[in-house]
Structure 1
Amino acid sequence: MNVHIINSYKLLNRLPKEASGKKIVIKEALSQGPVSNDTLPKLFEERAQFFKDAYGISEEVYYGESMPEIMKIPAIKKFSKVNLWFEHDIMSQVNLWFTCSLINFNIIKELSLVLPSVGHQNGFENMNKLQIAKTFKNKINLTYHQFTTLQNLWVAYCEKNFAAMHKLSRPLSSILPLLSEVIRVIESDYNGFTYAKKVLNKIQKDKEKDELKLIEKFKSAAPIYGYEEAQVAYLLEIIQQ
């Protein structure tokens, strides 16, 4: 069986015809809010509460939409070929690490990483169907060492062990060239959102008062986050408190 784990609903309907099989869509943003490497029930409880507090999304919606998709991952059948459709930005990478933590490498036939062209602005959203089909054709078959390194990144991220994260990023640099930058920004934000504040201070020189325009300018100035409008709005609210 072919399985495609996708980090965006926007990409779901743009997958090439060659990408046939079961589709699992990750509806999460684990780069924001609390995370835990304890048990899935505890993580789901924390995440449901976070989405309720931060975005006004009810716990029923989280348990009815996000959780069921996530639970499909550890239930992937033996000998499946699993394709991970993720991008280079912070939101996508953290979700990728978490996804890998749920996969049993020993029972699947093949695990591949499908990445867009390198560059902050070159996500799947900015690619046409032909380009997306080419990325699928050029997918990266992950080795066991690469896979376990991605799993360990999730553990280190939950523990806020940035020294370990920087060390783990090095052997993955050939396939994830922006990973070191992702980790630097995550660390700087943990230490007072220094990167986000720097970006905000730069764009506020324009004296932009329109909130939607400010959000769009932040997205453009800091594509490393990979956030949608609501996530940028939440980030800006935090750093301006």
Structure 2
Amino acid sequence: YFKLFGIDKYLMRFSTHDPAKLGQKFVDEPELWKKTEEMTRNVLKNSGINYVEVPNEAAFYGPKIDVQAWSVIGREFSIATNQVDFAQPRNFDLRYKDRDNIDKIPICIHRAPLGTHERFIGFLIEHYAGNFPLWLSPEQVRILTIGDDAKLMDYARSILKELRAHQVRAEIDESSDKINGKIQRAEQMKVHTMFVIGKRDMEADAVSVRIHGKGNLGAKPRADAIAEILLSIKERRP
């Protein structure tokens, strides 16, 4: 997902144990440590992924791989982890039958491709500086009306209903503010797309499209504008 989120700088951090601390900081299973570290190291080498090996940083129950990524401002985050665990299966007396019908204790793999969601969201906020692509935006479309005429508001609400029917995160600014104030507020809140609607737009069954940070893209038929929104979300465009 590095390409999907526009993450250009990342590497794998392979954390191993310190044999001198077996039975203290790390589970006292020297053969399993040797086996699982060699196995994990070979996977990293065979995959051709950039990685660094960090001694004495493994979990107490086994070696681990942390995905380290850097945001656009250069801050380092741990955004994912994969951990080998040969302690907990023993603690819970987990067993399976092998091909010879002999009881064996499995090795467990902890896998968190996004790490903790809260930390990953924090990374994304910093990485995008809040300027999320449409598919990630908390509020994807905001409808801004020029005036509060009853027919105009009904038209705006019909667009809102259509967008929400397609699971688009959309809202209407129903305040009595002037249109410039509504636009400014949406820009400050970094709403990705704004549909500006006036009387002429309503009569033409159209909307005027604005993109955060890019300005006015002009009027488009309502159906075309909504179709473009749905396609952009579906394709997860940057």
Greater strand share, 1 or 2?
A: 2
For the aligned pair, the TM-score class normalised by the smaller chain equals under 0.3
TM-score by length of 1: 0.22
Greater helix share, 1 or 2?
A: 1
